[in-house]
Structure 1
Amino acid sequence: MKTASEFSSPPQDYNVIVPDGWFQLSLEPEERDRCIAALADLQFRGIDNAPHLREQFMRDVQRKAKDAYDVGGMELYLSTLVVGPVPLASSLLTSMPDPDEWPKCSDAEELAEHLAVLDGGEPEGELGVVPLDVAGMAVRRRRRDAPDPAAQLGNTLPTTTLTYYVPIPATTRWLMLSFSTPVDPLADQMVELFDAVAGTLHWVA
């Protein structure tokens, strides 16, 4: 497995390893509906008396998937994990911003400084540069935002977001890993999981 510094030409792809129980939802319009139906089947397995909840769930996921696709999303993972009666709701969106919509930053340190300036010099939450074992240096940003029920599948709790901005070797492009969870009481534990997933990122030659 090649590290970021060993690439003299752009990688062909990337991989991350996600936990069992994270459902990969295709964002491509021609595959989206089939994936959403499969996710609904999984979520409502054994529940036959809640057709309205199922329909609402599918509409909410459809909106989330469309919004993700519209901002350049490539892969969307949704957690179906449950601990006892508590669903460990979380998601991961991978995306590659359009160069025209992205600051001309050459490395992680420069991007972190740029993001801090956008915050008025006082970063919201946590902002810093961290090493990923194989993928190289990355900007890591953690924030806690007010709930947005209309955009977050009805969630009414604060949402913790963890974003990694990773420069793609031998290019001027960046890969974003955007994790989020509305499970506010377990936010720190969920962030530990997100950090572990980000640590598995590697480039494919």
Structure 2
Amino acid sequence: MKTSDDFKEPPEDYHIIVPAGWFQLALDPEVRDRSIIALADRQFRGIGNAPQLRKEFTRELQRAAKKAYTAGGTELYISMLAVGPIPLASSLLISVPSADEWPDFSDVDELAEFLADRRGPLDTAAELGVVELAAAGRAVRRRTKEAADPETQMGNTLSTTLLTYHVPIPATKRWLTLTFSTPLEPLADQLVELFDTVAGTLYWE
């Protein structure tokens, strides 16, 4: 099992602008629990008599943070935005794939072709192509869906929309991966527009 410690010197010279209502959840195991408690306090502020909901919310955050850290995650953002009483559930994971799990090339067209060749029978409707980010340059953009997993998503029965950007790290053969996700299938298109906007803010020093 790999963790972010296995990905030597994750890049620190990138910047991305996220909406003010997104909370950055710490992935380092030494500070992870404090960060989760802080987010749970914020989410349930003013809401009394909901210990079970808070417990499930905290457990889901712990699961997400551990999974992100294991996948080489460097940053994880959780949306706290809402429209009226409807929370706009979504997240952004920034990660760096390990060298032995990722192709040894830095060309976005090659990566797009590689990912296209790996499409399974359930990926036929996926969007996959090369796009130009305003400041970060060319990147591979891929939109897919995942089936719901109610046992690990607090009872969610809607499919999860994933929007992934693979951006070459300058002067290396490594990639920075931005993985946006939302379980709000009815609002997926609108949230994907937001995700595209956030990805467009990525830039390198």
Question: Contact 2:80 / 2:88 at 8 angstroms: preserved in 1?
Answer: yes
Q: How far did residue 106 of structure 1 move?
A: 2.5
Taking the aligned partners of 1:124 and 1:118, their CA distance within structure 2 comes to 14
- SS of match in other structure, 1:176: strand
Question: Contact 1:37 / 1:58 at 8 angstroms: preserved in 2?
Answer: yes
Is it true that 1:85 corresponds to 2:96 in the alignment? no
- SS of match in other structure, 2:48: coil
Alpha-carbon spacing, 1:67–1:185, altered in 2? closer, same or farther (3 Å): same
Q: After TM superposition, list the pairs within 5 Å mapping 1:107-186 onto structure 2.
A: 107-119=107-119, 123-186=124-187
Taking the aligned partners of 1:11 and 1:119, their CA distance within structure 2 comes to 29
Moved over 6 A (4+): none
1:197 aligns with 198
TM-score normalised by length of structure 1? 0.91
- Structure 2 unpaired stretches of 5+: 1-9
2:13 aligns with 13
Q: How far did residue 153 of structure 1 move?
A: 3.9
Q: Counterpart amino acid of 2:118?
A: L
Taking the aligned partners of 1:87 and 1:23, their CA distance within structure 2 comes to 14
Taking the aligned partners of 1:134 and 1:178, their CA distance within structure 2 comes to 18
Q: CA RMSD in A?
A: 1.7
Return 114-123 or 60-69, whichever deviates more. Answer: 114-123
Q: How far did residue 151 of structure 1 move?
A: 3.3
Question: Contact 1:80 / 1:87 at 8 angstroms: preserved in 2?
Answer: yes
Taking the aligned partners of 2:12 and 2:63, their CA distance within structure 1 comes to 30
Return 98-107 or 82-91, whichever deviates more. Answer: 98-107
Count, aligned residues: 195
Taking the aligned partners of 1:25 and 1:103, their CA distance within structure 2 comes to 29
Q: After TM superposition, list the pairs within 5 Å mapping 1:26-105 onto structure 2.
A: 26-105=26-105
Question: Contact 1:61 / 1:153 at 8 angstroms: preserved in 2?
Answer: no
Q: How far did residue 51 of structure 1 move?
A: 1.1
Q: Counterpart amino acid of 1:178?
A: T
Taking the aligned partners of 1:95 and 1:32, their CA distance within structure 2 comes to 17
Q: How far did residue 187 of structure 1 move?
A: 0.5
Question: Contact 2:136 / 2:204 at 8 angstroms: preserved in 1?
Answer: yes
- SS of match in other structure, 2:171: coil
Q: How far did residue 101 of structure 1 move?
A: 0.8
Q: How far did residue 84 of structure 1 move?
A: 1.1
1:24 aligns with 24
Q: How far did residue 29 of structure 1 move?
A: 0.4
User: CA offsets, 1:125-157, max 9 Å, x none?
Assistant: 100000011111100000122111233343211
User: CA offsets, 1:155-188, max 9 Å, x none?
Assistant: 2111110000000000111000000001111110
With a CA cutoff of 8 Å and minimum separation of 6, indicate the structure with the bigger relative contact order. 1
TM-score normalised by length of structure 2? 0.91
1:6 aligns with none
Alpha-carbon spacing, 1:40–1:170, altered in 2? closer, same or farther (3 Å): same
Question: Contact 1:11 / 1:169 at 8 angstroms: preserved in 2?
Answer: no
Taking the aligned partners of 1:116 and 1:151, their CA distance within structure 2 comes to 29
